[in-house]
Amino acid sequence: MPNITPNSKVNFKRGSQDSLNTLINGSGDRFTEGTFYLTTDSNRLYFAQTATDLVNLNQYIHFYSNNNNQVPTEATTGNKITTGDFYYWEQKNALMICTDALQGTWTQINPDTYLNADNAALTVTDGTTAGSKKITMTVTDSINNVATGEITLVPGSDDLVITSSGNVITLTSANDNDNTTYAISTE
């Protein structure tokens, strides 16, 4: 850490984010200790704590609104996108970081908060217990996250019959006694 003395001068260096990224990705002593680096195209301010350690002082989150399932790009945001940029995509409730600006790749930081059911499927099949039916629900979202849940209905007695036609399940009694209570359990 540089020595801080009263009346010392503050040093600033200006340049493009790409030029600074070249320094960041380099090796050895790359920065002037105690100097501020200002990027002219991405409006970021960095501080060189040492000759090899640069700290981003104004990292912030961009808010992004797009209903067309398009990840942020220069065309959709009107801003230059840089590797390391944070964006919050409002319609998807997705906080993302740009992992490669040249390739346009993003990593969602909060993947468990978003599941927009773009495709849902319900299937009914025979269960493993005689007379039972297994119900499976699969939901796929627009970024191919898949959630699956299933339950199997098992008749509680020989008098209860569970049948299905397509995805419709019917429970019927084998006897005509309307006062009988039947139990259904799950496997």
DSSP state of 76: H
Neighbours of 82 (CB within 10 A): 16
Average pLDDT over every residue of 153-175: 73
Q: Which of 48, 27, 22 is nearest to 37 (CA)?
A: 48
Residue 186 banded pLDDT, cuts 50, 70, 90: very low
Average pLDDT over residues 150-155: 79
One-letter identity of residue 56: N
